[in-house]
Structure 1
Amino acid sequence: METQQLIEALTGDGGDPGHPVSPAGKLRLLNALAQCTDEVAAELTAEITSPTQAALFAHTIERTHRQVELAQIRAAHTAQRTLVQDLPAPNLDQAREIARDPAAFIRGERELPADPATVPTGLMPFKDTAAFLQGDLGLSHFAARDRLHAANALLPHVDIHGNTRGPRYPKLAEQVHAGKARLGAATAAARKLDKLAPSIASHTQSPDLAARLEEQVAESVAAGIPLATNRLFTSLADELDNTSTPEPSPEDIRAKTGIFITKRTRHYTWMSVCMLNTDAEVFLSHFAASDNPRTLAGNREAMAAAATGMNPSTNINDANGDGNGTNGSGANDTTDGPDWFTHPEATGTDTLDNPAPGLIDSFNATVDGTDGLTPPQRHLQTLLNLMRAPSKPPGKGATGLPTAQLIIHCRLDTLLGLATGNGWSAHGLEIPISEVRRRLATDGTIPLVLGGQGEILDVGQEMRFAPDHVRRAVLARDGGCFYPGCTVPPEHLEMCHIDGFAQGGHTSVHKFTPGCTSHHHMADNGLLELVIHNGIPHVVLPKHLDPEQLPRRNTYWPQNQAALF
């Protein structure tokens, strides 16, 4: 029997065959059918003995469940469209009573109250539709939000001009209506597509691209493998980021950036963070400083003492084990000093571990350090120390607070608009050229012109250790450690004389190259040879590693390949 025939058979025509059944009459029928469905299902549960009938019963109830899920978002959409939150309390109370006991309403002995003749004024029971779904239907905040989002994404709607429009995501809606995809999975996919919308809109032919991506997502959702769908979204987001315009739009930034709480339990809170590369560089700079035991910010003992649930097991300043906090010479190493110690003899006994295979791996490593903290724990503690820091500097022996310095490298022709390209940070993050220009105009800057004559970049034999401006110039040219494939962060690097200082080497930009502790020692011990090739420092590896004995560069870090002199 068709739906309309059933409605007419059960509700009658009221003496007027041409008069359509009113919405109130259909509501009576819907309540009656819901009541009958529950009663029939209970009877079938007790009566069915045939496994074939049991299989059909299970399939029927499952199809009914999916239809009810779809009906739920239709009800939420109707409540939003009719501004149900503006109903006065008496109307809401009577509707709630009828829903709780619909028998009199089904028999026609009770009517719904009339809607208000004028727009209600004063304080309304609910501020919006989501509040109505939570307060009147007992849904959670997230369930109410998801129903409204699903209704707006997967159902037809009326635009501001009164024209009926199709669903925002027709492919997903088609899969749901056909019973090929579950509503929850389709709703989650629609929400993720909304996050990708600003990136999609920035592309040329964005409507075609949006349709193709939605079709891929709809097919993945219909396959019913959530892990595969999540991987698809991850790859789509990465591809859109890599092929988008040089500078993200404000809508794209608004949709992606922020700190999001992804999970909470009794003892832990998980957060996901997304930020622009210029902001991420500040984080990376702070983290690299706290990872370096040769800085006050990396004071291992004080870091462990400040960490939640951790106790320092050793005193890093007690080098001789006498328990008095000295380094063996009677001098206490907890005095305040610059955040970066440029003199190797003042750095203590700690040395850097072997370089990690990549920057991300080194920042996410789970191996304990000498303070008992993993790098991720230490990074978290760095942020907590900064947030909890008093207005005055910490006293002697306290954990030093790292100070981030945003270093952006950029070619002059790119900055002047004579060539396309972007800047890059000290940790290799790409910075849009418009952001570089804005920073130059608004922030305090230390300009460094490679190959210019505006600053002394050669101090000869008068000074062994590199001044800060020389260090900045060398890092601007080389990016990172000279050894091919080394990923030790710039903050941890030492300045290596290409010609030994004891053999007459000068302290100058063109005679320096950055290196990590391990590779610096290898060069000093003659295991590596540092040379100038085409005006730029190169390294010649041992013959067993490089039989060709060619001068090589570390291509892991973005570099300015132009010779300084």
Structure 2
Amino acid sequence: MSQTMSQALAELSEALQQTSRLSVDEALALAELIPVLHQAVGAPEDLTPETTEPTAEPSVLTAEPAESFREDPRFALALASIAESAAHHALRTQIYAAHLLEATSAHTLTVDELNAQQAGTIDFTRPAERTGQRATFTGTSALLSSWLHIEHHEALRRVASANHVFAQFDYQHQQYPAQFPLLTQRFNDPTLPPAEALSVARRLGALEPVREEFDAPTTSTVRGADGQLLEAMLDHELGEADPATRRKGINAVIKSAKEQQSEEQPEAQEGIFRRGLRHGLVRYELALRPTRAELFESGIAQSDNPRSDAGQAAREAFTDNNSDPADAANPTNASDASDASDASDATTEHPDFVTDEEAAASEATDTAPITPAARRLNGLMSLLELNSKLLQRLLDATLHGAQEDAQATAGSQELKVPVIKPQVVVTISLAELEGRADTFGITSHGFKLSATDLRQTLAKARIIPIVLGGKGEILDIGRAQRKHPNYMRLGVAVRDRGCLVPGCTMDPERCNIHHVWFWSEGGVTAVYWSAMLCDTHHHDVHAGLIKVIPNDGVPQVILPAFMDPTQTPVRNQYHFAATT
């Protein structure tokens, strides 16, 4: 280091230590030294991406003529330590800047002030000019995003972080203390890395209840299961020296709090979340409470049933058909019968800018195979499309003053609406009813219910008591009819919960009710003599590969000898293992 540079740095350090307050120009000049330092100690300009060989010109930043300081590993190690410390201070400054932008309402600056700032001609000796009209930016995050050219969500995160560890503001712009005072101390401690404290503050902030518009900001309120303040628990975990142990402890506290909150306020976590584009597909995440999840599962399973119209439609490639299929059969207003006839004679329909050859080539393109997941999606999309068409037709009829016609249209068969009837079936044991168990019932698709879920379900449901092994309802109609009525099917479904064969995962909506005592051999239609089997295993039973025995009204299966040499009667336990 030259004597001039050493002397300048020493004088600068001494001046900073003796100065209690900096002017605006001095503070900004010091901040600008950071990129200058990076240019000085960064990669040499005479190294290009194509080669790592230096040019013949000697570097001006060399400790000795024969060796650059960049080749000294001790310098690299020292620089890494200094850079890490600089990054910590830069992060604190970054969040503090977001706080100052919000505290000073910088988004209300006039256009002239913003232009002067951009041009670097600001006169800090005069007061800032604020617009008395509509501000250029709607808020601090909008200003940050536009001014720094950063993504909007990152700008929102910085402002939220400033609220966590610097100060909060109410709707009248009154300043309140930071939301997390313990984490604020860790964030501002120069001996500790601030990023981890800030990350914990962000995760904790997501657990805090959403503040209403006119409510005053408060400090941390979320508590753990033992009543201890969650911020204090996380602050204790942050005191762990080992990074891996510290991270594990923090994750455990956050996970426990999320599980507790999901039990107390499941509606706060419920919804449809778009997770972005991946492999050419837009990903969505669906979060449902157990009771809603049971309804959703029931509806999806019914819409995918190959024995129903909805299931057959789901097995065809879904097309976004915005036109009502009934319009072609009953043309009105804009189209008449002759137009419909002409349309039916047309071989292809496509925009004018698409040639017949291009349209034919497009139709000839092989479509992707219809997977089970695609079938469920097709069923859901078809129901959404049909629902929109039905509502539109009802609206059109109502606007024309024909209420009766609207009802007739809604009940017509022209739309061919695939009817499904989702239902929630909850099985509760005697111990659960008497409060002797930790659980509160389980649905037919294996979702465990919380006490809140059960209370809400019982309050809204049409209660159908099913006493397994009792005789409260007619569960035997002998040979009066072969097909099992709905109430009897429900009883079998509650008992078996799906296909009876071990390892089979078929939902109850997709299963058949099998006569354990074959109907062709004089069997009767009764729950005692019935079992739930999927199509494949139902065929296996009638083919003699699998045998079903009643076993006192709780049917079991005997697998083929090559699968079970002991020929022990068994039941499928898959459906009794809760999914959540």
Report if TM-score (shorter chain) is over 0.5.
yes
Question: Matched residues in 2 for 1:135 and 1:54: separation?
Answer: 41
Corresponding position of 1:387: 384
Q: Which amino acid aligns with 1:146?
A: R
Match of residue 295 from structure 1:
308
Aligned to 2:148: 137
Distance 1:420 1:42 in 2: 62
- 1:36 and 1:539, CA in 2 relative to 1: closer, same or farther beyond 3 A? closer
Distance 2:542 2:43 in 1: 88
89 and 218 in structure 1: CA distance in 2 versus 1, 3 angstrom threshold: farther
The residue that corresponds to 1:343 in the other structure is none
1:375 pairs with one of 372, 376, 383: 372
1:9 maps to which of 15, 20, 24 = 15
**Distance (Å, rounded) in 1 between the aligned partners of 2:10 and 2:139:** 34
Structure 1: how far apart are the matches of 2:142 and 2:197? 23
Residue of structure 1 equivalent to 2:294 = 281
Q: Distance in 1 between matches of 2:24 and 2:293?
A: 58
Specify which of 533, 544, 552 is matched with residue 515 of structure 1.
533
SS in 2 for 1:261: strand
Aligned partner of 1:481 in structure 2 is: 499
Q: Which deviations, in whole Å up to 9, do the C-alpha atoms of 1:144-186 show, x marking residues without a partner?
A: 1232244445x4557999667866647984899756x9x5x88
* One-letter identity of the residue aligned with 1:249: E
Q: Check the 8 A contact 1:479/1:559 in 2, yes or no.
A: no
The answer to whether the Cα contact below 8 Å between 1:540 and 1:551 also exists between their aligned partners in 2 is: yes
1:558 — aligned with what? Answer: 576
Instruction: Tell me which residue corresponds to 1:71.
Output: 93
* Aligned equivalent of 2:515, options 481, 486, 497: 497
Structure 1's 42 and 298: CA in aligned 2 closer, same or farther, altered over 3 A?
closer
Distance 2:143 2:529 in 1: 72
- Among all aligned residue pairs of Structure 1 and Structure 2, give the percentage whose two residues are the same amino acid: 25
| Contact 1:483 1:515 (C-alpha < 8 Å) held by counterparts | yes
Q: State which drifts further: 465-474 or 71-80.
A: 71-80
2-side partners of 1:212 and 1:394: how far apart?
Answer: 66
Name the counterpart of 1:304. Answer: 316
Deviates more, 1:495-504 or 1:464-473: 495-504
- Work out whether residues 175 and 222 of structure 1, in 8 Å CA contact, stay in contact via their aligned partners in 2: no
Check the 8 A contact 1:77/1:151 in 2, yes or no.
yes
In the aligned structure 2, how far is the partner of 1:372 from the partner of 1:498?
A: 36
Check if 1:525 corresponds to 2:543: yes
Q: Is the contact made by 1:422 and 1:432 (CA closer than 8 Å) also made in structure 2?
A: yes
1:466 match: secondary structure? coil
Q: Report the alpha carbon displacement of residue 429 of structure 1 after superposing the two structures with TM.
A: 1.0
Displacement after TM superposition at 1:498 (Å)? 2.1
Secondary structure of 2:273's counterpart equals strand
Deviation at 1:202, TM superposition (A): 5.0
Which residue type is aligned with residue 219 of structure 1? Answer: P
Label 1:76 to 1:523 Cα distance change in 2 as closer, same or farther (>3 A). same
Q: 1:143 to 1:195 in 2, by over 3 A?
A: closer
User: Which of residues 555, 563, 576 in structure 2 aligns to 1:537?
Assistant: 555
User: Aligned partners of 1:85 and 1:402: how far apart in 2?
Assistant: 53
Match of 2:351 in 1: none
What is the match of residue 430 of structure 1? 448
- Per the TM alignment, residue 468 of structure 1 is displaced from its structure 2 partner at its CA by 0.7
Q: In structure 2, what is the Cα distance between the partners aligned to 1:42 and 1:413?
A: 71
Shift in alpha-carbon separation, 1:35–1:471, aligned structure 2, 3 A:
closer
Instruction: Please state if 1:52 is matched with 2:64.
Output: no
Write the deviation string for residues 390-434 of structure 1: whole angstroms up to 9, x where unpaired.
Answer: 214785796735432222222366356575521222211112243
> What's the offset of the Cα at 1:295?
1.4
Secondary structure at the counterpart of residue 576 of structure 2: coil
CA contact (8 A) 1:493 1:517 kept: yes
Q: Which whole-Å CA distance do the structure 2 matches of 1:177 and 1:424 have between them?
A: 51
Which one of 231, 239, 261 corresponds to residue 274 of structure 2?
Answer: 261
CA contact under 8 A between 1:11 and 1:25: conserved in structure 2?
Answer: no
Q: Is the 8 A contact 1:150 1:190 kept in 2?
A: yes
In structure 2, relative to structure 1, the CA distance for the partners of 1:468 and 1:218 (3 Å cut) is: farther
Matched residue SS, 1:299:
helix
Aligned residues: 467
Check the 8 A contact 1:414/1:421 in 2, yes or no: yes
Change (3 A) 1:125 1:428: same
Q: 1:195 to 1:31 in 2, by over 3 A?
A: closer
Q: Contact between 1:426 and 1:476, CA under 8 Å: does it hold in 2?
A: yes
C-alpha change, 1:42 and 1:430, in structure 2 (3 Å) is closer
Residue 471 (structure 1) shift: 0.4
CA contact (8 A) 1:531 1:537 kept: yes
Preserved CA contact (<8 Å) 1:495 1:512? yes
Unaligned runs of 5+ in 2: 1-5, 46-58, 210-220, 322-366, 391-409
The letter of the residue matching 1:553 is: R
Which stretch shifts more, 56-65 or 520-529? Answer: 56-65
Deviation for aligned residue 1:135: 3.1
SS in 2 for 1:271: strand
CA contact (8 A) 1:461 1:506 kept: yes
Name the counterpart of 2:285.
272
The amino acid across from 1:288 in the alignment is A
Structure 1 position 410 matched with structure 2 position 410: no
8 Å CA contact 1:171–1:214 kept in 2: the answer is: no
Deviation larger for 371-380 or 258-267: 258-267
Q: How does 1:117-266 map to 2 (within 5 A)?
A: 122-153=133-164, 155=165, 157=167, 169=183, 173=187, 178=192, 183=195, 191-192=202-203, 194-195=205-206, 201=223, 203-204=225-226, 206=228, 207=230, 210-211=234-235, 219-220=243-244, 244=260, 248-250=263-265, 253-254=267-268, 256-264=269-277
Alpha-carbon shift at residue 373 of structure 1 (Å): 0.8
SS of corresponding position for 1:522: helix
Q: Deviations over 1:96-145 (max 9, x none)?
A: 443xx6xxx7xxxx4343257xx986533333211121233333202212
Q: Is contact 2:237–2:246 with CA below 8 Å preserved after alignment?
A: no
List runs of 5+ in structure 1 lacking aligned partners: 14-19, 224-228, 310-369, 561-565
Question: 1:27 aligned to 2:33?
Answer: no
State the alpha-carbon separation in 1 of the partners of residues 557 and 315 from structure 2. Answer: 36
CA distance in 1, matches of 2:136, 2:105: 12
Q: Is this contact kept in 2: 1:73–1:148, CA < 8 A? A: yes
Q: How far did 1:457 drift?
A: 1.2
Residue 260 of structure 1, CA deviation: 1.6
- The amino acid that maps onto 2:24 is A
